[in-house]
Structure 1
Amino acid sequence: MRSYAETPPAGPLRAVVEVAWRAHAGTAPHTQRVLPDGCMDLLLAGDDVLVAGPDTTAHLAGSPAGGVATGLRFRPGALPALLGVPADALRDRRVPLSDVLDPGRRRLLRSAPSGSGDGTGDAAWLARLALALHAAAGDDRTTAPLPHPALRALAGGMAAAELADRLGVTGRTLHRRCVATLGYGPAVARRVLRFRAAAALLYDGLAPAAVAARTGYADQPHLSREVRALAGVSPASLAPRTGSPDLAAAAGSARSGEGVRGQVQANRSSDEPSGSATVA
């Protein structure tokens, strides 16, 4: 049986990590739809450590029967500084971490994961790796994530020029910073973060017309076009559905991350379309 669980980060990781997650594919191969949410992940499957870059559209991720994957979902804009690589270089990509890091950071990968083959201990190993990367990261202001209020402003539809003025920077500086930390400019960031907020409300059962009004879409057709463009499914597919085992489990146990609630709160590892509602 497929399973998914999340664990809040502890200690210094709380500043950069939203959640640690672990997914088990169950007894049959499984494909999950991963939705864009502004986040990047470090994930471990077997002995392979991958970086999941920022997505601009849905990504279909396959898992073999019995497959176990463990990951850390980083807050929007937080991971590039730890990697020493701008986010746009990883946009819409899954890349081995060893191919991304410079030689100084790459040495941090030399210790083997401490898992037992079923994923046990992998989250702790990833946490130690993230802490080491955090400690090794320099103070590069070009890859410093945008402040949380700025991300919320983008999610709310604020124009780039107005946000730049509030941050006391030029429009070009804001654009460069968004590209370096989020993987795309303010216009795409606005779409992705607003979509994430809308997906959370759709799961909660709010009618699409009300979701459109609350999240700044022009109307319900505008919401539908954006959901299809970014998720590859209709808004109805993101709502809880009676009779679906995964979605029923989601409605009954939001913390488990199973089904759509996991989709909305846990981008890279849910059983259906996924995303994170943390910023918006």
Structure 2
Amino acid sequence: MIERVWRSRGVDTATMTSVSRPHWDFVFWQGADGIHAGVQGPESRASQAPVPSNSEFLGIRLALGAFVPGFSMPQLVDRFVELPVERDWFTLAGDRIRKPRFTDAEQFVALLVRRGLLDSADVRDAAATDRTRQRRYLASVGLPQRTVQQIERANDAAVRLREGQAPAAVAQDTGYFDQPHMARSLRRFIGPSATELADANHPGSPLSLLYKTEPVRAQ
């Protein structure tokens, strides 16, 4: 049910570039104005996001297909939904839950599953018809499968570029038609250009999580 658990601190920057991703996150943070909790939906394109100063963040990124019954995943796309918080407790779908720590994220998710507050759909059911799979995929993920493939391919290309691989080789290895095709995809889904990603000293705003995933070829 968990794709990744992450934590960060907001220091010396007011904004960051939030890259596209098909997964959604539980996000918890503590700043000068107290403790906050919320759900960050899947992101269909790169955008600028505020970073509260001197805040500590904890995120639990859910696996593809995980959903909260009663939440409409398509309606969560490109949205952040803040949840009610009282001290170390927050409310989800009417249930009062203790805010997790970095070390007990798995227990937190298991608790949500036991209470029926988190479920998972089989987004790759080979036995279903194409139309049924597409409908289930959109309902549980929030984004069409083709868009998810494009996001994952752009993420793969961005990671390779940041590692210092040549743009022409990256474009070919990740299945783009050519470098201009890759450039358009990076601008839409990641934000920086190939040149900016390759330059470790480029003064652009910090990026949200970029990490290696399974190589993807968009159909």
Distance in 1 separating the partners of 2:22 and 2:58:
19
Distance in 1 separating the partners of 2:157 and 2:73:
24
Please, what TM-score do these two structures have when normalized by structure 2? 0.80
Structure 1 vs Structure 2 CA RMSD = 2.9
> How many residues in Structure 1 have an aligned counterpart in Structure 2?
206
Higher helix share: 1
2:178 corresponding residue in structure 1: 219
Give the share of equivalent positions with the same residue, in percent: 29
Unaligned runs of 5+ in 1: 1-15, 114-120, 148-163, 247-269
2:110 aligned with 1:131, yes or no?
yes
Please, what TM-score do these two structures have when normalized by structure 1? 0.64
Letter aligned with residue 213 of structure 1: Q
Q: CA deviation at 1:100?
A: 9.0
Higher strand share: 2
Equivalent residue for 1:88, pick from 71, 74, 85: 74
Q: Secondary structure at the match of 2:123?
A: coil
Given that residues 36 and 231 in structure 1 are in contact (C-alpha distance below 8 angstroms), is that contact kept between their aligned partners in structure 2? yes
Q: CA deviation at 1:96?
A: 1.8
2:140 aligned with 1:181, yes or no?
yes
Distance in 2 separating the partners of 1:127 and 1:49:
17
Equivalent residue for 1:48, pick from 36, 41, 44: 36
Letter aligned with residue 274 of structure 1: L
C-alpha change, 1:38 and 1:145, in structure 2 (3 Å) is farther
Letter aligned with residue 41 of structure 2: G
Distance in 2 separating the partners of 1:72 and 1:197:
21
1:252 corresponding residue in structure 2: none
Letter aligned with residue 277 of structure 1: K
2:123 corresponding residue in structure 1: 146
Distance in 2 separating the partners of 1:93 and 1:139:
19
Given that residues 196 and 202 in structure 2 are in contact (C-alpha distance below 8 angstroms), is that contact kept between their aligned partners in structure 1? no
Given that residues 44 and 70 in structure 1 are in contact (C-alpha distance below 8 angstroms), is that contact kept between their aligned partners in structure 2? yes
Q: CA deviation at 1:232?
A: 2.7
Q: CA deviation at 1:184?
A: 1.1
Unaligned runs of 5+ in 2: 85-89
Q: CA deviation at 1:71?
A: 1.0
Distance in 1 separating the partners of 2:106 and 2:182:
37
2:169 aligned with 1:210, yes or no?
yes
